[in-house]
Amino acid sequence: MRIVRDELGVVVVTYKRPEALRKTIFEILNQGIAEAHIVVINNDPSVQLLSEEIDPTFTSLIIKNQPENIASAGGFAIGMQAIQDLGLQWAWLFNDDSRPIDRSFESLKSALEKVSNQKIGLVKIGNFNNRGKATLLNWKGVRVPSYVEPSDKLIETDLVTFDGCLISTRLIQEIGTCDPDYFVGTYEFDYCLRARDAGYSIFTLPNGLIEDEKAGSIGGTPPWRQYYNTRNHLYLGLQRKDLQTILAWIKRELKFSYAIIRFEDQKLLRLRLKTLATFHAILGKRGKTLDPASIK
């Protein structure tokens, strides 16, 4: 399996982090992939980004300004479709606060050349934990991490997250993009499960050649994100009629509800939103049912 540079497109989803975005674009171009198209999905409706403002020297930069915040699921869905529409073979995905570092692309290219599997759907550069080991994700009704020593050898896994992930447009053509109605959270795991249902393989390259600032995680989990985590996980289990996922959701919600009561601020708001999320999942209510900007 080979990656050809001029058959690669890059997607970056951004929201109110212009400096982080410029840094990410700079690091992408440092990978020596000047032939690639870069598609930026701007989820901040208050600012109309222009390609010349981000990098006036790069002619294959496409900006898609959105009229409202469609979050990461909506942004990646648009970006994945754009790469397929351009007739390219691979989409390389990033958030604005995650970016490749030196040798990222070459390591992916080299690793894929050693694999004969012709039905590869997703390949993710594995992040390092605080002990310098790479994270692998597998599915037991909920994501279950394990940790391995760094290497440049691909490891087959059940799940990946999208930051630093290559996705085959052959897969996109067959099963579609990620589901924008998840809005935020769970959409990556839904997509991985759908890919495996269609017979595609998922790999992690555990070399840590990605920088992830995790800017969206600073300050803990806000109440609105807990709402979407609760709703989307239960919806996934109900939609797939998967008892393992539903039981894992119950166990997870009991644990997190206990943590809210014991340790979190805004206890009543968080518990109320979790209850609302449960009802919405059962009723099949999806999309942007709760505006993050309305929850303080």
CA distance linking residue 87 with residue 101, whole number of Å: 26
Indicate the pLDDT class of residue 219, thresholds 50, 70 and 90: low
Residue among 40, 47, 42 nearest 9 (CA): 40
Q: Residues 162-201: pLDDT tens digits? A: 999 999 999 999 999 999 999 999 999 999 999 999 999 9
Give the SS3 label for residue 171: helix
Tokens of 175: 């099963």
So what's the pLDDT on residue 217?
A: 56
Residue 21 pLDDT > 60: yes
Whether residue 223 has pLDDT greater than 60: yes
Find the mean pLDDT for residues 20-44: 92
Q: How far, in Å, CA of 16 to CA of 27, rounded? A: 19
Q: What percent of the chain has pLDDT over 90?
A: 85
The one-letter amino acid at 198:
A
Report the C-alpha dihedral over residues 109, 115, 121, 125, rounded to 10 degrees: -50
Beta bridge partners of 14: 42
Is the model's pLDDT at 247 over the cut of 90?
yes
DSSP three-state, residue 145: strand
**pLDDT the model gives residue 34:** 78
pLDDT value at 215 more than 70: no
By the 8 A CB rule, do 183 and 77 touch? no
Domain boundaries, given as residue ranges, for the chain? 5-213, 219-294
pLDDT above 70: residue 296: no
Q: Which residues pair with 210 in a beta bridge?
A: 100
111 contacts 39 by C-beta, under 8 angstroms: no
Over 80: is that where the pLDDT of 6 sits?
no
Cα(187)–Cα(233) distance, rounded to whole angstroms? 9
The mean pLDDT of 202-206, rounded to a whole number, is: 97
Q: What is the pLDDT of residue 251?
A: 98
- Segment 239-258 shows an average pLDDT of 98
95 within 8 A of 23, measured Cβ to Cβ: no
- pLDDT above 70 for 265: yes
| Domain covering 5-213 assigned CATH 3.40.50.2020 in the classification | no
Q: What is the pLDDT of residues 102-129, one digit of tens each?
A: 999 999 999 999 888 779 999 999 999 9
Beta carbons of 38 and 10 less than 8 angstroms apart: yes
- Residue 30 to residues 24, 102, 163, 204, 213: CA-CA distances in angstroms? 10, 8, 17, 22, 18
Q: Do the beta carbons of residue 203 and residue 108 sit within 8 Å? A: no
Mean pLDDT of 279-294: 96
pLDDT of residue 2: 73
**Angstrom distance (rounded) from CA 3 to CA 242:** 35
**Token pair listed for 201:** 């393989």
Model pLDDT, residue 199: 97
Closest CA to 187 of 140, 118, 151, 239: 239
Instruction: List strands edge to edge, sheet with 37-42.
Output: 61-65, 37-42, 8-14, 90-95, 165-168, 120-125, 201-205, 155-156
Q: What is the pLDDT of residues 53-82, one digit of tens each?
A: 887 777 789 999 999 999 999 999 999 999
pLDDT number for residue 58: 78
Average pLDDT over residues 88-98: 96
223 touches 230 (CB < 8 A)? no
Mean of the per-residue pLDDT values for the chain? 94
Judge whether 39 and 62 are in contact, CB under 8 Å: yes
* 142 has a pLDDT exceeding 70: yes
Q: What's the pLDDT score for residue 35? A: 78
> Does residue 249 have a pLDDT over 60?
yes
